[in-house]
Structure 1
Amino acid sequence: MISSRTCAATEKKGYRYCADDILCAHYALKAAPNAHSLLDLGSGIGTIGLAWLAQQPRGTAKVTMLEAQDVSVSLCRRTLRMCQVQDEVELRHADLRDQDSSSLGKFDVVTANPPYLSRNAGNLPDNSQKAYCRHELRGGVAEFCAVAKDAMAPGAVFCMVFTTDASLPDVLQALQQYSFAVQRRVDVLFRGNLKSVAVVCSLERGCTRPAVDTLNVQEEDGAWSSDYISLCAEMGL
Structure 2
Amino acid sequence: MDDCIRMRRSAFPRGLSQSKTGHRFSVDSLLLASFARIRRKDRLGLDLGAGCGVVGLALLLLHPDQNLRITGLDIDPEMARHASINAERLGLQQHFNILNEDVSSYRTSNKTPYDFVSCNPPWRDPASGRLSPGPDKARARAELDAGLDAFASAASRALGARGRFFLLHTPDRLEAVLASCRAHGLAPKRLRLVHGHAETPARALLLEAVRGGAPGLVAEPPLLLYQGPEPNAPHTEAALAFCPFLGCNRAAMKE
TM-score, normalised relative to structure 1: 0.86
**Cα 1:81/1:97, change in 2 over 3 Å:** same
For residue 213 of structure 1, report the CA deviation from its aligned partner: 2.5
Contact 1:24 1:48 (C-alpha < 8 Å) held by counterparts: yes
Write the distance in 2 (CA, Å) between the matches of 1:155 and 1:208.
Answer: 14
Q: Does 1:189 align with 2:195?
A: yes
Write the distance in 2 (CA, Å) between the matches of 1:235 and 1:105.
Answer: 34
**Could you list the runs of 5+ residues in structure 2 that have no partner in the other structure?**
1-17, 249-255
Q: Deviations over 1:171-201 (max 9, x none)?
A: 1111111121111100111132210000011
Q: Which residue of 2 aligns with 1:52?
A: 59
Q: Which residue of 2 aligns with 1:125?
A: 132
For residue 102 of structure 1, report the CA deviation from its aligned partner: 4.6
Q: Letter of the aligned partner of 2:204 in structure 1? A: S
Write the distance in 2 (CA, Å) between the matches of 1:58 and 1:109.
Answer: 17
Write the distance in 2 (CA, Å) between the matches of 1:221 and 1:104.
Answer: 51
SS in 1 for 2:216: coil
Write the distance in 1 (CA, Å) between the matches of 2:66 and 2:104.
Answer: 30
For residue 122 of structure 1, report the CA deviation from its aligned partner: 1.6
Runs (4 or more) in structure 1 with deviation over 4 Å come to 101-105, 234-237
Alignment of 1:144-155 (within 5 A): 144-155=151-162
Q: Letter of the aligned partner of 1:220 in structure 2? A: P
Q: Does 1:19 align with 2:27?
A: yes
2:242 to 212, 222, 231: 231
Q: Which residue of 2 aligns with 1:143?
A: 150
SS in 2 for 1:157: strand
Q: Letter of the aligned partner of 1:177 in structure 2? A: A
Contact 2:192 2:222 (C-alpha < 8 Å) held by counterparts: yes
For residue 86 of structure 1, report the CA deviation from its aligned partner: 1.6
Q: Which residue of 1 aligns with 2:76?
A: 69
Contact 1:31 1:200 (C-alpha < 8 Å) held by counterparts: no
Write the distance in 2 (CA, Å) between the matches of 1:104 and 1:190.
Answer: 42
Q: Does 1:221 align with 2:230?
A: yes
Count of matched residue pairs: 226
Q: Letter of the aligned partner of 1:232 in structure 2? A: C
**Cα 1:77/1:231, change in 2 over 3 Å:** same
Write the distance in 2 (CA, Å) between the matches of 1:34 and 1:100.
Answer: 24
TM-score, normalised relative to structure 2: 0.80
Write the distance in 2 (CA, Å) between the matches of 1:58 and 1:171.
Answer: 32
Write the distance in 2 (CA, Å) between the matches of 1:212 and 1:231.
Answer: 13
Write the distance in 2 (CA, Å) between the matches of 1:177 and 1:17.
Answer: 29
Stretch moving more, 75-84 or 154-163: 75-84
Write the distance in 2 (CA, Å) between the matches of 1:104 and 1:167.
Answer: 34
**Cα 1:17/1:209, change in 2 over 3 Å:** same
Contact 1:32 1:157 (C-alpha < 8 Å) held by counterparts: no
**Cα 1:140/1:51, change in 2 over 3 Å:** same
Q: Which residue of 2 aligns with 1:95?
A: 102
Write the distance in 2 (CA, Å) between the matches of 1:80 and 1:168.
Answer: 33
Write the distance in 1 (CA, Å) between the matches of 2:110 and 2:217.
Answer: 34
Q: Percent identity?
A: 23
Alignment of 1:196-207 (within 5 A): 196-207=204-215
**Could you list the runs of 5+ residues in structure 1 that have no partner in the other structure?**
1-9
SS in 1 for 2:205: strand
For residue 59 of structure 1, report the CA deviation from its aligned partner: 7.8
